[in-house]
């Protein structure tokens, strides 16, 4: 049983197949960008991109990503260059405590991959389920618009 994880084919060991994808990523593959928040699909801290769709890794079974493509925040930068969404986040100093931010960034990347020039309503709909207890939502919206400017 395999998946394509951040561009590389990786095996899902048989003793992990019934575990949440989030635990497989963090504990087996050592990818700690996706965070455990609520564990029940309500906060977005664990968001990864599965076949282009922002998905809650805490409520996704590891076996259910067999043959699929999974991206985590660790797979965004290429050749030493940050993804434009990561760069926009840095430029606008978006994070506060940071706990929710990998999930926020992955949701933003999935949005911009499907809607390159999003309207305010598109951003609100895409980011609605990603909670931030620190109140960074206004900066997140601004950073998404800034990242979108690069493709206008």
Site string for ligand FES, 39-68 (x = CB under 6 A): x-xxxxxx---------x-x----------
Dist CA 131 CA 70 (whole Å): 22
Dist CA 83 CA 109 (whole Å): 9
Tell me how far, at minimum, the Cβ of 118 lies from ligand FES, in Å. Answer: 20
Buried b (16+ CB within 10 A) or exposed e, 119-143: eeebbeebbeebbbeeebbebbbbb
- Tell me, by CB under 6 A, how many residues bind ligand FES: 23
Tell me how far, at minimum, the Cβ of 34 lies from ligand FES, in Å. Answer: 8
When binding is defined by CB under 6 A, the residue of 33, 75, 95, 118 that contacts ligand FES is: 95
Assess 37 for contact with ligand FES (CB under 6 A).
yes
Tell me how far, at minimum, the Cβ of 108 lies from ligand FES, in Å. Answer: 13
Which stretch of DSSP H or E encloses residue 147? helix 137-149
User: Could you tell me the two tokens for 55?
Assistant: 């998905």
Q: Which residues bind ligand FES (CB under 6 A)?
A: 36-39, 41-46, 56, 58, 95-101, 132-134, 136
């Amino acid at each position: 049983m395999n998946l394509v994880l951040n561009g590389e084919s990786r095996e899902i060991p048989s003793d992990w197949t019934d575990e949440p994808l989030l635990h497989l990523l963090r504990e087996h593959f050592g990818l700690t960008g996706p965070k455990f928040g609520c564990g029940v699909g309500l906060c977005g801290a664990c968001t990864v991109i599965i076949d282009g769709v922002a998905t809650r890794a805490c409520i996704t079974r590891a076996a259910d990503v067999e043959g699929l493509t999974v991206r985590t925040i660790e797979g965004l930068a290429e050749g030493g260059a940050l993804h434009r969404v990561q760069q926009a986040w840095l430029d606008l100093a978006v994070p506060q405590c940071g706990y929710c931010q990998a999930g926020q960034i992955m949701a933003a990347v999935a949005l911009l991959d499907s809607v390159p020039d999003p309207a305010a309503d598109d951003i609100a709909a895409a980011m609605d389920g990603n909670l931030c207890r620190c109140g960074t939502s206004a900066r997140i919206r601004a950073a998404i618009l800034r990242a979108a400017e690069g493709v206008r």
